[in-house]
A and B are shown apart, each in its own frame.
Chain A
Amino acid sequence: MAVRRIAFVLSLSILLTLAATVAGLYAPFDTRPPLAEAQNVPVLRWGSRGEAVRTLQWRLQQWGYYTGAIDGVYGAKTYDAVVRFQRQNGVYPVDGVVGAATWRALGLLNAVSGGGQSAPVSAPAASYVSTNDQLELLARVVAAEAEGEPFAGQVGVAAVVLNRVQHPGFPNTLTGVIYQPHAFESVSNGLIWRRTPSEEAIRAAQSALNGWDPTYGSIFFWNPSKPVSSWIWSRPIVVRIGNHVFAR
C-alpha cells in the first residue's frame, strides 16, 4: 500500500514538474522589463471606446493585423486583431486585453501613457510616429544587436538602421526596416524585446538620430566571427568597429 502511495506521489510530482516546465517555457516572455515607467496606461478590452482604441486600431491596421474600420470601438474585429498580434509577437497572456505589455510591443507605450513625457498620440490619418517611439525602438535594436560593443560601434548599428530608411533599396520607414524579415537576428529571435536598453544604448540611438554616422552611410553590418552568407562579404566594407564590420 505504501508503495502505491509513493508511486502516486511520485507520478503527481513528475506531472507537476512537467506542468511547471511547460509554464516556464512561456514565463520568460512576461519578464520584459519596462523602458519607461508606465503610468496611467489605458487598459483596453472588448467594449472599450475612445481615442486610445482608435490609436490601437490604426497601428494594428498599419501592421496588417486589422482590416475593420478605425472607429474607436473595440469590437470583434479588433479583438481578433489584438489576439493575433499578441500570439505572433509573444505577448502573454494572449487574452485580447491591451495592457502595458501589448502597448509596448506595439511601440506605443510612451504615446499612450499619461504623465512624464507628453508625446502626442497622432491622428490615425497621419503616418507620423513620435520621436520617442523611434528612439525607443532604435535603442532596443542597439541593445540587442550591439551590447558590449564600443560606443562608436553602437552608434554605427543605429546609423545602419537609419541609413536603410534613407536607402532606396530598403523600406522607407523605421518600423519597415526593423521588422523586415531576416533583417535583424534579434527581431527574429525576440531578443529585441527581452533586453532593456542601457543608458549608453539610448545615447547611441540618440546620437545616430542627431546625424552622427561613424559608418558613412553603411547599410549592412555583421560579426565576422559568426557564419554569414558569402554574398554579404561582396559588399564594399567601410570600417570595422569592435566586433562588427560595416559595409555599403
Chain B
Amino acid sequence: MSTIWKAATGVLVALAVFALLWGYGEMRARADAERMLDARYQQAFFAAVDHVENVEVLLSKALVTTSPKQVAQIFSDLREQAWAAQGYLGQLPLLQGTLMRTSQFLTQVGDFAFSVARKAAEGVPPDTDAQELIRLMKEEAAVLSAALNEVQRESADGRMPWSEIRRRANRTLRSESKELDESHFARLERHFEQIPVIQYDGPFSDHILQRKPKGLVGPEITEAQAEEIALAFAPLEDRNDFAARVVRRVHGEIEAYGVEITPRDGEDPAYVLDVAVKGGHVVWMLDREPAARSVVSLDEAVERAREFLSARGFESMVPTYAAVAGHRAVIPFVPEVGGVRIYPDLVKVTVNLETGKPAGFEALGYLMVHTDRNLPEPRITKEEALERVNPVLRTSGEPRLALIPLETLEEVLTWEVEAFLDGEQFLIYVNAETGDEERILRLVHTEEGAKTL
C-alpha cells in the first residue's frame, strides 16, 4: 500500500515541480513581452511629444517670418511634423475615441499648412485670416505640448505604465461603467472638443467635414413610395416575383429608407438599396449574387450598364475607366453636358460578368454635389492646353473639356489631355482659365480593364 502512496506522491511532486517551472517560464515570457510592448508605446509617446513640440515651434516661426522662401519651407515642415505627431498619437493604447478631436486638430494643422505651402508656391502669401488661424493653432499646440509633458512628468521615473493603461482601457471597453477614463488624455480631449471652428482651404476644413447634399430635389416620400421606387429601380425580370420592404431608416448625410427586395419564394433579399426620403433618389444598391466566372465581355458589360442608367433617367452618361475584380466590372459613368465631362457627378454601376446583370449602383457622391451648373467659357484654347503639357509626354487624341473636383470640393474647368510616357498612360488636367496644371492621373491597366490612380 505504502508503495502506491509513495509513487502517487512522487508523481504529484513531479507535477508540482513541472507546473512551477512552466509557470515561472510563462511569467518571465509574459513580463518580457509586456516590457517590449511598453517600450514600443513609450517610443510612440516620446515621438508624439517631439513632433508636437516641433509643430509649436514652427507655428511660432510662421507668425514672425516675412520671406516667401521661409514660408514655403516652414509650412512644408509643419505639415510633415503635424501628421507625424498625429500618427504617433494614434499608436497609443488608449480607449477608442479618447484622442479623436486631438488627432483631428493635428490633421487640420497639417492640412492647413499644406494649403498655405501650395499657395506660397503660387506666389500668394498667407492673408490675415491665415495669420489668425496660425495664432489660434499655435496656442492650441502649446496646450497640447504642455499636457503631454505633464503626463510624462507625473510618472515618477519618466516611464508611462502603458501596460496598466492598456488593461484599464480593456476593462472600460468591456464594462458598461458610465465613468469615462478620467486621465489627462480625456481632459485634453475635452479641451479640443471646445476649440473654435477651423476653416481654411483644404479637405479637412470644418466646413467641408459638415457639408450638405445639393442633389436632392422633390418632395419627401413615404415608405410605400420608397418600396415602389425600389421595385422599379432594381433590375428585376418580373417584379411580380418580388416584394420590397422598408427595413430601416438611415440618418446619414442623406436621410434615407433602407429597402430590401426579396423574391416571393425566398427569404434572403436579392437586392438592398437606400432611397432618399427627400426626392426619392436611389443612393446605392447592392446585390448578393456571386459571380464564379466571366461570360460577358467588358464592352458588353459597359453597354448593359449604360442601358440600366438611361432607363433610370441618367441620360448622356459616358463610361470612364472600368475595373474588374472577382468577375465583376465596376464602371464609373459621368454626364457629358455640352461637350464637358462633369466628373464630380460620377455614378458607379457594377455588372456581374457571369449573368451580365447590373449588380450594384452608387450615387452618394452624385447626390451630394449634383446641381445645375453655370459652366464658364474656357479662356485657354485646346492648342494652348497641349503646349502646357510637359514635352517629355507624347500626347494622344484631342483634349476635351472636363469639370473636375479639387480636394477642397471646389470645381474647376479643365482640358483633359491623354498622354504617354514610356508606355505608361496619363491623364493631365490643365486649368481652362489659368493654364495651370491642376492634376495628373495615371492609368493602371489590369488584365481586364483600366483603373486610375
Interface residues of A (CB under 8 A from B): 3-4, 7-8, 10-11, 14-15, 18, 22, 64, 84, 87-88, 135, 150-152, 155, 167-172, 176, 180-183, 188, 199-200, 202-203, 206-207, 210-218, 220, 227-232, 236-241
Give me 25 A-to-B residue pairs in the complex whose CB atoms sit less than 8 angstroms apart, sorted by A's number.
Answer: A4-B3, A4-B7, A10-B7, A11-B14, A15-B14, A87-B33, A170-B90, A171-B91, A172-B83, A176-B91, A180-B91, A181-B93, A182-B93, A182-B169, A206-B325, A207-B350, A214-B274, A216-B250, A217-B253, A220-B97, A229-B96, A232-B96, A236-B251, A239-B249, A241-B248
Task: Tell me which residues from 331 to 377 in chain B have a Cβ below 8 Å from any Cβ of chain A.
Answer: 348, 350, 360, 362, 364-365
Contact of B174 among A155, A181, A200, A227 (CB under 8 A): A227
CA distance A207 to B285 in the complex (A): 11
Please give, as numbers and ranges, the residues of chain B lying within 8 Å of A135 by CB-CB distance. Answer: 325
The B1-41 residues at the A interface (CB cut-off 8 A) are: 3-4, 7-8, 10-11, 14-15, 18, 22, 33, 36-37, 40
- A4 proximity list for chain B (CB < 8 A): 3, 7
Residues in chain A near residue B92, CB distance under 8 A: 181
Q: Are A239 and B175 in contact (CB under 8 A)?
A: no
Inter-chain contact A7/B174, CB cutoff 8 Å: no
A166 to chain B, nearest CB (A): 9
Tell whether A229 pairs with B173 under 8 Å between CB atoms, given A172-B87, A206-B326. Answer: yes
Residues on the B chain within 8 Å of A152, using CB: 258, 272, 286
Least Cβ distance of A45 to chain B in Å? 22
- Is there contact, CB below 8 Å, between A88 and B95? no
A138 to chain B, nearest CB (A): 13
- B253-A216 in contact (CB<8A): yes
In B243-258, the 8 Å CB interface with A consists of: 248-254, 258
CB distance from A96 to the nearest CB of B (A): 16
Does A202 contact B326, Cβ atoms closer than 8 Å? yes
Cβ contact of B36, chosen from A88, A168, A237, cutoff 8 A: A88
A117 to B214, CA, bound (A): 41
Q: How far is the CA of A151 from the CA of B3 in the complex (A)?
A: 66
Q: Are A203 and B172 in contact (CB under 8 A)?
A: no
Provide the residues of chain B in CB contact with A3, threshold 8 Å: 3-4, 7
Question: Is A231 a contact of B326 with CB atoms below 8 Å?
Answer: no
- How many residue-residue contacts, CB under 8 A, span A and B? 171
Cβ of B298 under 8 Å from chain A = no
The residue on A at minimum CB distance from B204 is A168
Question: Which of the residues A87, A168, A229, A241 comes within 8 Å of B172, measured between beta carbons?
Answer: A229
Q: How far is the CA of A214 from the CA of B323 in the complex (A)?
A: 21
Q: Say yes or no for B431: interface residue by CB 8 A criterion.
A: no
Within 8 A of A (CB), among B163-196: 166, 169-170, 172-178, 180
Complex Cα gap A69–B33 (Å)? 25
Given known contacts A206-B325, A230-B178, A238-B251, A169 and B107 CB-to-CB distance under 8 angstroms: yes
Question: With A and B bound together, what is the CA distance between A155 and B97 in angstroms?
Answer: 22
Q: For the complex, is B290 an interface residue (Cβ under 8 Å from A)?
A: yes
CB A22 to nearest CB in B, in angstroms, measures 7
Chain A residues in 8 Å Cβ range of B37? 88
Please, which residue of chain A has its CB at the minimum distance from the CB of B364? A213
A182 to B185, CA, bound (A): 15
Query: Do B250 and A7 touch across chains, with their CB atoms under 8 A apart?
Result: no
Known interface pairs A181-B166, A238-B251; A7-B4 also in contact (CB < 8 Å): yes
Q: Which residues of A contact B87 (CB under 8 A)?
A: 171-172, 176
Does chain A have a CB within 8 A of B330?
Answer: yes
Cα distance A220–B174 in the bound complex, in angstroms: 16
Nearest-Cβ distance from residue B377 to partner chain A, whole angstroms: 32
Q: How far is the CA of A162 from the CA of B90 in the complex (A)?
A: 16
B278 within 8 A of A: no
Residue on A nearest B90 in the bound complex, by CB: A171
- Contacts of A18 on B, CB cut-off 8 Å? 15, 18
Question: Least Cβ distance of B207 to chain A in Å?
Answer: 13
